[in-house]
Amino acid sequence: MGDIEASVRILRDSFTHDPVAEWLFPEPMGRQRMLASMFRPLVEASAGKGALTFSAEGDAVAVWLPLAIGESPFTGEPIDIAEYPHLAQLATLIEYTEPRHPIGWEHLYLPFLGVAATVRGTGIGGGLLTDRLTKADTERVPAYLEASSARNRSLYLRHGFVDHGEPITLPSGPRIWPMWRTPK
């Protein structure tokens, strides 16, 4: 359970000022609590599939979800949107991103990658990506994600991801870049 709580804490702190998080949960006082509630089921699902990865120092976490052909991260119980006061925003986020998620291929989905503020920008997040993507290349498994900022998009471009169609612009909100990576 320590890995779950540590992961949720890193993600919560990493995403507090993320454009999509601010759009989802505009009230700063409750944002961290709401983010923790949103991250926990996905972290648990990733851990349950043996796909949750950490940096050696434990200050960065990548939440990977291996998905089979036809499987969507929006089916099942990863997030109970009924728990959120900003239900409309979360439902809208899913409405805009779900049709873009590639379900015709087995793939890895990276919903979240977070790095503790004290080590952000030092390459730790990139190291987590490299480690898992190297394994994905060996297994011949593609990967998919949605970058929530231009800075994140740049990181993913450097790791072999390409834009998967046009960016998504949320209503009165930020832009999201769906991205795909074919194994090398």
User: Tens digits of per-residue pLDDT, 94-120?
Assistant: 899 999 999 899 999 999 999 988 888
Superfamily holding 2-181: Gcn5-related N-acetyltransferase (GNAT) (3.40.630.30)
Q: 60 or 74: which carries more pLDDT confidence?
A: 60
Measuring CA to CA, which residue among 115, 108, 152, 164 is closest to residue 132?
A: 108
Structure tokens at 36: 């923790």
Measuring CA to CA, which residue among 8, 7, 11 is closest to residue 58?
A: 7
Q: What is the pLDDT of residue 145?
A: 97
Percent of the chain with pLDDT over 70: 92
Amino acid (one-letter) located at 131: D
Q: Global pTM?
A: 0.90
Q: What is the DSSP string of the chain?
A: -HHHHHHHHHHHHHHTT-HHHHHH---HHHHHHHHHHHHHHHHHHHHHTT-EEE-TTSSEEEEEEEE-TT--TTSSSS--GGG-TTHHHHHHHHHHHGGGS--SS-EEEEEEEEE-GGGTTSSHHHHHHHHHHHHHHHHT--EEEEE-SHHHHHHHHHTT-EE-SSPEE-TTS-EEEEEEE---
Q: Please report where in the chains the tokens 């074919």 appear, as a residue.
A: 182
Structure tokens at 21: 């998080």
Q: What is the pLDDT of residue 56?
A: 78
